[in-house]
Amino acid sequence: MLFTSYKYAVFVALAFCAYYLAARLSRGRRLQNLALLFLSFGFYALWDLRWCLLLGGVIVSGFLGGALLERALARRRLILLGVLLVDLGCLGAFKYFGFFAESFSALLRSAGLHADWVTLNLVLPVGISYYVFQNLSYVIDVYRRDMPATRGVVEYATALSFFPQLLAGPITRPRDLLPQLFQHRAFDDARARDGLRQVLWGLTKKMLIADNIGAQVDYAWGNISRLDGVSLVTAAILYSIQIYCDFSGYADIAIGTAKLFNLRLSKNFDYPYFSVSVRMFWRRWHITLASWMRDYVYIPLGGSRVGAWRQAFNLLATFILVGLWHGADWTFLVWGSLHGSYLVVESRLRSRGPPTGSERWRPTAGVVAGVVVFVLVTFAWVFFRAPSLASAFEYLAQVVRVPFGAIDYARYAPTLGLSAALLIYEWFTRRWEHGLSLERFPMPVRWGAYLAICMALLLFANLGGRQGIYVQF
């Protein structure tokens, strides 16, 4: 059930009614949370009923692990290790087994051996990377005594299974969501209306911009040898906009939906393409994953409190894991390594000059820095988008080999214009919580904008046509 399908709208409407009916029937929060838990598992079951067993197992491992860590005075590290092995074992089995099994099968086939028994063809459960990381953050926080273990099994299960964040995050940590679930939540009219606006803005970015751009990007990757360098570079730029609108659109829909239930999910994007450094980019792109990796990988490795070479290793190791989080493929490994390398070079430049990660730039220098960062990020996206390393290198080689050709460049004008319009609009609205925070404007202006967007969605969007890019992770 994709966020862009009419089925999701119907589900949210029914869940909304059931949720507030439960709130009305009960003065406490327990029935309300039970309703939300039942609805969330029902949502997941609509994808695949078997995945609910996996989600339930992860929830049990985290809740019991936290309870044991709270009571144990000794062997706490052993308990933590047990939860890590269980959760990361589940994640590895579903997400990475196929990659290693296929590689091993290819090796055996090259030796003339039959190896079909190696491949299990495991299907990757939707959202597994998100709720496993949420679960691990809770257990590690309890282990560090940064938060007490919760005694509310219903609340904990609801925090991990809350349906808007199941598909593509954000990775809202239990320490942020649990306190909200221990409160009775009455309907908040202002927050609900803002949630609907944010959902509409997310649909705009995903269905009107990302999906229309996606068709041209797919064409470019399917016809690399027929296109020239200008066309391929243009497609790479368009993909940068596509993945941003696709992923941030899904995040807006998730956060907006949560507001309908008077719950707050973590912010996941903060206008990343206006960054003047790669460091700033990662403070604004997929914020919940970047902060998770910082707190549970980079800082425990020593962070920046060590020597230059060790810091470089910490950065590279962290971003290699960021790449592998997206999937077991050499393309993701190269993408993560590129960003890690960018940050290593940037940290060395920062140590020898003014702070490149700050906002203190002269206007011209800031524009130049922003363009450089966008180019570096776009180059890395080529590997992220490529179906294989061979395709990525073929793509880059074709750019150099045939820089210009007899191609109809006008075909890119509509999507380039749409992308430019989005960036200009976001520049002027960068202080807003989201692109449709229009409550300060008169009612005719607000409703004129809402109706125009709804008409555009009906005319130019395909309901449920394209799955979100980050749903597969």
Q: At what angle do helices 30-45 and 6-25 cross, to 10 degrees?
A: 160
For residue 316, pLDDT beyond 90: yes
pLDDT digits (tens, 9 = 90+) for 443-470: 999 999 999 999 999 888 877 667 888 8
What is the model's pLDDT at position 113? 53
360 exposure class (CB count in 10 Å sphere: 0-12, 13-18, 19+): exposed
What is the model's pLDDT at position 466? 76
What is the model's pLDDT at position 103? 54
Q: In the chain, where are the structural domains located?
A: 6-187, 191-276+361-472
DSSP states along 1-68: --TTSHHHHHHHHHHHHHHHHHHHH-SSSHHHHHHHHHHHHHHHHTT-TTHHHHHHHHHHHHHHHHHH
What is the model's pLDDT at position 213? 94
Tell if the pTM clears 0.85, that is, is over it. yes
pLDDT confidence tier of residue 317, bands split at 50, 70 and 90: very high
Average pLDDT over residues 101-106: 52
pLDDT confidence tier of residue 361, bands split at 50, 70 and 90: low
What is the model's pLDDT at position 118? 42
Which candidate in 114, 286, 326, 434 is catalytic? 326
What is the model's pLDDT at position 267? 95
What is the longest distance spanned by two Cα atoms in the chain? 73
What is the model's pLDDT at position 295? 96
More confident site: 316 or 108? 316
pLDDT digits (tens, 9 = 90+) for 83-99: 999 999 988 888 776 55
Task: Find, among 261, 239, 227, the residue nearest to 15 by Cα.
Answer: 261
pLDDT confidence tier of residue 115, bands split at 50, 70 and 90: very low
What is the model's pLDDT at position 329? 87
Q: What percent of the chain shows pLDDT beyond 90?
A: 71
What Cα–Cα distance (Å) separates residue 290 from each residue in 133, 284, 323? Answer: 12, 9, 11
Is residue 306 a contact partner of residue 314, using CB atoms and an 8 Å limit? yes
Q: What percent of the chain shows pLDDT beyond 70?
A: 91
For residue 102, pLDDT beyond 70: no
Beta strands in 248-296 (DSSP E): none
What is the model's pLDDT at position 468? 82
d(CA 243, CA 236): 11
What is the model's pLDDT at position 405? 79
What is the model's pLDDT at position 356? 46
pLDDT confidence tier of residue 304, bands split at 50, 70 and 90: confident
What Cα–Cα distance (Å) separates residue 17 from each residue in 11, 36, 44? Answer: 10, 11, 19
For residue 139, pLDDT beyond 80: yes
pLDDT digits (tens, 9 = 90+) for 388-418: 999 999 999 999 998 887 667 778 888 999 9
Q: Which helix (H) or strand (E) holds 454?
A: helix 443-460
For residue 110, pLDDT beyond 70: no
Mean pLDDT of the chain: 89
In the structure encoding, which two tokens stand for residue 466, read together? 């394209």
With b meaning 16 or more CB within 10 Å and e meaning fewer, what string describes 369-386? bbeebbebbbbbbbbbbb
What is the model's pLDDT at position 359? 52
For residue 134, pLDDT beyond 70: yes
Average pLDDT over residues 1-24: 92
For residue 23, pLDDT beyond 50: yes
pLDDT digits (tens, 9 = 90+) for 154-202: 999 999 999 999 989 899 999 999 999 999 899 999 999 999 999 999 9
Amino acid at 326: H
Determine the 3-state secondary structure of 357 from DSSP: coil
Residue with tokens 């202006």: 445
Average pLDDT over residues 65-74: 90
326 is annotated as an active-site residue: yes
Query: Residue 125: is the preceding peptide bond cis (ω within 30°)?
Result: no
Task: Find, among 161, 180, 169, the residue nearest to 202 by Cα.
Answer: 169
